[in-house]
Amino acid sequence: MNRSIKIYNTVSKEKEEFKPIVEGRVGMYVCGPTVYSDVHLGNCRSFISFDIIYRYLKYVGFKVRYVRNITDVGHLEGDADSGAEDKISKKARLEQLEPMEVAQKYANGFHDMMRTFNVLPPSIEPRATGHIPEQVNMVKKILDNGYAYEADGSVYFDTLKFAKETGLYGKLSGRVLDDLVAESRDNLKKQDQKRHPSDFAIWIKADDSHIMKWDSPWSLGFPGWHLECSAMSTKYLGDRFDIHGGGADLTFPHHENEIAQNFGACKSTPANYWLHGNMLLMNGRKMAKSDGNTITPEQLFTGDSPHVSKGYSPMVVRFFMLQSHYRSTLDLSDTALQAAEKGYQRLMEAYKNLTKLDEAKAPTPTDVDTKVNQTLDQAFNEMDDDFNTPKALARLFEVVPVINSLANGTISASEITADTLKRLKVVLSDFIFHIFGLKDETSGNDNTQTAVLEDVLELVLEIRQNARTNKDWTTSDLIRDKLTAAGVLVKDGKDGASWSIKNN
């Protein structure tokens, strides 16, 4: 590991050189999903962004402990008229299921979707319900340290005291306490129990209708809205760790409160670098079920939605997301996805062409060598600069014409050295599959079947070639047209025909 990586830190609002607390190791915590409904496409973008960050840090040689939680308890339903209510519990009553059954169902769905998008599993995936003692303990510590107070069985974090003593509250999200006072809604639950409007609950006394509740020194209840992340990050990564990530919408209040809680319990802020992924928009607006401006991942794959003209495969969607920077909003649209699909196919096609290249005869480095090596170096430099996937991707595309030219003879094998060709193969493969986490969807999963298919197609193309030699255009065109209809693209080149499977 001798690369210098720069990361944009939300706390400082600028790019900083990444220096891990322990040389060669990275502790990274990312806020995972709340499993009370199906994963939202925007969630997927966020987890894909951090997947690439995780992959890149590992790729450059760090030993990374990546913790991504599952929240299966705790969050309040803000607009519920029956008062404080746990999301999971509410859903459970509606569906007549055990709360944990609901959580498990959606957790499974979440995992399936992550696998579909080729997102690597984290090193540790702790669940909030599995860490109630840790959370109770944290509340105790915060109370002991004087940063919280109890009121009628619930415990509240004292933001005013924390802000006055440290000046830290609001720093991450750029807020000042006076604004928070002005902003606070007067219809917040249990408002009267709080000393200050911006104080927030870290333990909530449950009413009778509440299903998920645990014993604690203060009441039979459940942990506060943001406590699980503080408790679990501390347990698995320590009081201080390197990277904390999440969606931009978590900056306030979730992460702000996490910082407060961690400080309240451990007397130190938890993470050195706070990273925030930006929102996924659709047709220029935030996705929202209320106005129909939304699409599920499944609808995107199948094309069963008025927002798309056809289905797009998971890897096309992943590629689409790679084309923008994680800190920018990304606007999903049908035309943008079509463009991404073409681009994805072009990249994968070039990679396949590359794997077939084995001739490199230049004795000494040529202009082609220089161009290729510089471009590959640049691609890594782009990733070093706050994980700039769109720029790195652009560099990869600059090398595509070189590959295709070598494949079709426009550039001869004598114009590239074996060393460069080898490096090109390794680096391109690393980037596409290991760093960007793309998969080749065109090749079958079953190796035997794939091999059979390849042999059969070779035969068919040989027959067609014979027909062409005999100027039997009827037969040759028939073969080509039927194969096209079957989804196999025939590509005539100088050294005979080759084929590839078309998506859709």
Partner RNA sequence: GGUCGCGUGGCCGAGUGGUUAGGCAGAGGUCUGCAAAACCUUGUACAGCGGUUCGAAUCCGCUCGCGACCUCCA
Interaction with RNA in 376-395: which residues (CB under 7 A)? 388, 390-391, 393-394
Closer of 335 and 445 to RNA (Cβ): 335
Q: Name residue, tokens 């219809």.
A: 187
76 lines the binding site for RNA (CB under 7 A): yes
From 43, 159, 216, 375, residue interacting with RNA (rule: CB under 7 A): 43
Are 17 and 177 spatial neighbours (Cβ–Cβ below 8 Å)? no
Put the strands of the sheet holding 330-332 in their side by side order: 285-286, 280-282, 330-332
Pick the stretch among 98-106, 330-338, 354-362, 367-375 that binds RNA (CB under 7 A): 330-338
Between residue 132 and residue 191, which ones bind RNA under the rule CB under 7 A?
Answer: 173-175, 179-180, 182-185
Cβ-Cβ contacts under 8 Å for 377 (sequence gap 6 or more): none
442 lines the binding site for RNA (CB under 7 A): no
CA dist., res. 55 & res. 297, Å (int)? 23
Over the window 209 to 228, marking each residue x when it contacts RNA by CB under 7 A and - when it does not, the resulting string is ----------------xx--
Classify 24 as helix, strand or coil. Answer: coil
318 lines the binding site for RNA (CB under 7 A): no
360 lines the binding site for RNA (CB under 7 A): no
Residues in the chain, total? 504
Strands (E), 278-350: 280-282, 285-286, 330-332
Closer of 63 and 303 to RNA (Cβ): 303
Are 277 and 50 spatial neighbours (Cβ–Cβ below 8 Å)? yes
Q: Minimum distance from CB of 220 to RNA (Å)? A: 21
From 340, 362, 424, 432, residue interacting with RNA (rule: CB under 7 A): 340
405 lines the binding site for RNA (CB under 7 A): yes
Q: Which helix (DSSP H) or strand (DSSP E) does residue 276 occupy? A: strand 271-277
Q: Name residue, tokens 């460069």.
A: 420
297 lines the binding site for RNA (CB under 7 A): no
From 67, 325, 348, 372, residue interacting with RNA (rule: CB under 7 A): 325
Residue of 441, 404, 423 whose CA lies nearest to 319: 441
342 lines the binding site for RNA (CB under 7 A): yes
386 conformational bin, left if phi > 0, alpha if psi -120 to 50, beta if neither: left
Pick the stretch among 96-104, 154-162, 357-365, 468-476 that binds RNA (CB under 7 A): 468-476
From 285, 310, 422, 482, residue interacting with RNA (rule: CB under 7 A): 285
- Determine the size of the site formed for RNA (CB under 7 A): 89
193 lines the binding site for RNA (CB under 7 A): no
Pick the stretch among 52-60, 131-139, 427-435, 469-477 that binds RNA (CB under 7 A): 469-477
Closer of 38 and 430 to RNA (Cβ): 38
Token digits of residue 289: 């079920």
Closer of 17 and 23 to RNA (Cβ): 17
Between residue 260 and residue 279, which ones bind RNA under the rule CB under 7 A?
Answer: 277-279
Cβ-Cβ contacts under 8 Å for 392 (sequence gap 6 or more): 379, 380, 382, 383, 431, 435
Closer of 13 and 448 to RNA (Cβ): 13
Cβ-Cβ contacts under 8 Å for 142 (sequence gap 6 or more): 148, 155, 157, 202, 261, 264, 265
CA dist., res. 198 & res. 201, Å (int)? 10
Pick the stretch among 89-97, 206-214, 337-345, 354-362 that binds RNA (CB under 7 A): 337-345
The pairing of beta strand 280-282 with beta strand 488-493: unpaired
